[in-house]
């Protein structure tokens, strides 16, 4: 399977997306943006409303039946909650064709979890997208299981390229990536909330405070990305000696800013690992 094949209708691999929620829908959108033919995509979701909406939006096939959807599929994307993944694999194992690639976007579950429940030798690639993928500004980490190779990773990267940045990592790094980019958007929203409340406390209108905080973070992120400068250097340029910014940063550091962020990331990693252990015992 090559990148060229994904954009050539007669040769494009057939894809079954199991789960029509946010991530399933995002992946379907990315595939269509990348030129994947609609007649080579099927979404299976027991929620008839979601399946029908995706069918109408993208012109793809849709069904509420999970197992039949994977018949003849070259690629199967498991886009359900981690707690549902085991049951889904039990349903599809007998329908999965030899050599079909399985991609999972469920958090916490190792490739080995899937490999143990699917036919021997099934290639599995884990993908961890974050929610900004919905607006093509996301980050997705991908990692190969025991039976997946570089060609599989290249194929997945091409499939997901329309969602934003795609980075290949070792599977042992997946929990760490999840704690930074997977959960990171929530940290950002929490910071916007906190800065908004600070602005309101200083007399700003709430709507204005939200707009100021949001645009300031967006602008700062673009500046960091486009200049390629280190964040420490950009922070230094804003922080004049004895100025208001340095006073604010010193107060934040004294309040334990770095420790708070590290504690959050550590908790995310711990929970991801615990979730994998809990579900592996099912």
Of residues 21, 3, 23, the one with CA closest to residue 13: 3
Tokens found for residue 225: 């990305």
CATH architecture of the domain 3-174 equals 3-Layer(aba) Sandwich (3.40)
Burial class (CB in 10 A: 0-12, 13-18, 19+), 21: middle
3-state helix, strand, coil in the chain (%, to 5): 60, 15, 30
Per-residue pLDDT at 4? 38
- Backbone φ, ψ for residue 159 (5° rounding): -60, -40
126/268 Cα distance (integer angstroms): 18
DSSP secondary structure letter of residue 19? -
pLDDT of residue 48: 77
pLDDT number for residue 10: 59
In total, the chain counts a number of residues equal to 282
**Residues 125, 133: Cα–Cα separation, whole Å:** 18
Pick the CATH number of 184-275 from 1.10.8.80, 1.10.3720.10, 1.10.3730.10, 3.40.50.2300: 1.10.3730.10
Tens digits of pLDDT across the chain (282 residues): 334 334 445 588 999 999 999 999 999 999 998 889 999 999 999 887 888 999 999 999 999 999 999 999 999 999 999 899 999 999 999 999 999 999 999 888 999 999 999 999 999 999 999 999 999 999 999 999 999 999 999 999 999 999 999 999 999 999 999 999 999 999 999 999 999 999 999 999 999 999 999 999 999 999 999 999 999 999 999 999 999 999 999 999 999 999 999 999 999 999 988 888 887 776
- Identify the pLDDT of residue 219: 97
DSSP-assigned letter for residue 163? G
CATH topology identical between 3-174 and 184-275? no
Q: What is the pTM of this model?
A: 0.87
pLDDT score of 3: 42
* Per-residue model confidence (pLDDT) at position 208: 98
Domain ranges of the chain: 3-174, 184-275
Cα dist. 15→6, 33, 41, 76, 191 in Å?
A: 11, 15, 5, 6, 38
Q: How far is CA 252 from CA 186, 211, 219, in A?
A: 19, 22, 21
Q: Which of 50, 6, 151 is nearest to 18 (CA)?
A: 50
The CA-based dihedral angle spanning residues 114, 116, 119, 120, taken in that order and rounded to the nearest 10 degrees: 120
């Amino acid at each position: 399977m090559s990148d060229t094949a994904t954009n050539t209708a007669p040769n494009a691999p057939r894809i079954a997306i199991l789960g029509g929620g946010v991530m399933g829908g995002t992946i379907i959108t990315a595939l269509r943006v990348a030129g994947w033919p609609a007649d080579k995509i099927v979404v299976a979701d027991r929620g008839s409303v979601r399946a029908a909406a995706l069918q109408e939006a993208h012109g793809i096939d849709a069904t509420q039946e999970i197992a039949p959807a994977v018949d003849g599929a070259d690629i199967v994307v498991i886009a359900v909650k981690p707690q549902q993944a085991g049951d889904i694999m039990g349903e599809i194992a007998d329908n999965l064709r030899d050599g079909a690639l399985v991609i999972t976007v469920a958090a916490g579950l190792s490739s080995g979890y899937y490999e143990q429940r699917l036919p021997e030798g099934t290639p599995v690639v884990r993908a961890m997208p974050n929610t900004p993928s919905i607006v093509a500004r996301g980050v997705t980490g991908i990692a190969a299981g025991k039976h997946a190779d570089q060609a599989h990773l290249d194929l997945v990267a091409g499939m997901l390229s329309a969602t934003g940045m795609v980075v290949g990592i070792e599977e042992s790094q997946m929990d760490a990536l999840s704690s930074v980019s997977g959960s990171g958007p929530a940290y950002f929203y929490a910071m916007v909330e906190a800065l908004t409340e600070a602005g309101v406390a200083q007399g700003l209108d709430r709507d204005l405070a939200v707009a100021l905080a949001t645009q300031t973070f967006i602008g700062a992120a673009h500046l960091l990305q486009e200049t390629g400068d280190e964040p420490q250097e950009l922070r230094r340029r804003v922080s004049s000696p004895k100025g208001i910014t340095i006073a604010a940063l010193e107060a934040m550091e004294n309040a334990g800013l770095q420790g708070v962020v590290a504690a959050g990331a550590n908790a995310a990693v711990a929970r991801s690992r615990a979730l994998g252990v809990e579900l592996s015992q099912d």
